[in-house]
Amino acid sequence: MPIGIFDSGLGGLTVQQEIASRIPDQSLVYLGDNKYAPYGVRDHEQIYSLTQNAIERLWNAGCDLVIVACNTASAVAVKRMQEEWLPENKRVLGVFVPLIEAVTERQWGDNSAPKEVGVKQVALFATPATVATRAFQRELAFRAIGVDVEAQPCGGLVDAIEENDFELAEALVQSHVSALLRRMPNPQAAVLGCTHYPILKKCFEKALGPNVQVYSQGRIVAESLMHYLNRHPRFKEKGEALFLTTGDVDKVSLAATRFLSKKMLFKSV
């Protein structure tokens, strides 16, 4: 069966591309809910409802395993879905936990008690909605102790990326990094807590300086999925990639082509 990958917009394509490069024969269905993007400015109930609708669309496309490649939806909806809504034969995975496992140097599936880790100061860059949930700090506390997290809500950044306005996007990165560094002058690590942000990873690295290790999610999530599929081989299926959108097909295809610098063709869902 194909694996579904969902984001509110284009950012999840950074995850899809990493998965496709590491598991090239796997059938993948990507869904961008571009009609309602961005999620980061919406309230929690709106985000939860929109995420439910998108996941159900992917189930209808044959995807019993869905990766929510949207940090806002992961932070707001995934845990609640897993506890209250998910049918027994379906799986929904978020993108926060693999990232935190990487930062805390935990092996996949290590559920031991929280412990001291090498990184003591972490900068988190994410959408306002993701920051407001404190989901990153909560999940981190399950795995590590003694880590100080300073979160910076990056208002406007997703919109600039979606609109292909990279001059504005780079200016916003500079502004958001400067604001965080005033509160945490010497972070050891920085987490790009939005799947749009890896497109600007070099910009974040330049603004933060050479002593800060910057973590983005595509590679980390792809490697975590490889481990998951080894444990759950029923989700493996050879096939092509399919790209779906709730938005305007021509506009989204053009924006995705610019976003990834390669030809992308979406279909309507």
Question: Is the pLDDT score of 108 beyond 80?
Answer: no
Question: Is the pLDDT score of 138 beyond 70?
Answer: yes
Helix or strand holding residue 169 (H, E): helix 166-183
What does the pLDDT look like over 236-255, one tens digit per residue?
Answer: 999 999 999 999 999 999 99
Q: Encoding tokens for residue 128?
A: 């306002």
Beta-bridge partner residues of 227: none
Provide the number of structural domains found in the chain.
Answer: 2
Q: Tell me the average pLDDT across 194-203.
A: 93
203 and 235 in one domain?
no
| Under 8 Å between Cβ of 130 and 40 | yes
In angstroms, rounded to a whole number, what is the distance separating the alpha carbons of residues 45 and 269?
A: 23
239 and 192 in one domain?
no
Question: Is the pLDDT score of 105 beyond 90?
Answer: no
Active site residues: 70, 194
Query: Does residue 153 have a cis peptide bond before it, meaning omega lies within 30 degrees of 0?
Result: no
- Judged by DSSP in three states, 183 sits in helix
190 and 114 in one domain?
yes
CATH code (residue 74): 3.40.50.1860
Q: Encoding tokens for residue 217?
A: 């999610």
Neighbours of 80 (CB within 10 A): 13
75 and 168 in one domain?
no
Residue ending a domain, among 194, 216, 238, is: 216
DSSP letter assigned to residue 58: H
In angstroms, rounded to a whole number, what is the distance separating the alpha carbons of residues 169 and 4?
A: 28
Using a pLDDT cut of 90, give the percent of the chain over it.
79
Structural domain that includes position 29: 3-94+218-268
Question: Residue 173: which of 121, 211, 214, 217 has the closest Cα?
Answer: 214
Question: Is the pLDDT score of 4 beyond 90?
Answer: yes
Of 11-15, 83-87, 102-106, the one with minimum mean pLDDT is: 102-106
In angstroms, rounded to a whole number, what is the distance separating the alpha carbons of residues 103 and 215?
A: 8
- Judged by DSSP in three states, 105 sits in coil
Q: Encoding tokens for residue 2?
A: 């194909």
Q: What is the b/e burial string over 102-131, where b = at least 16 CB atoms within 10 angstroms of the residue's CB?
A: bbbebebeeeeeeeebebebbbbbbbbbbb
260 and 161 in one domain?
no
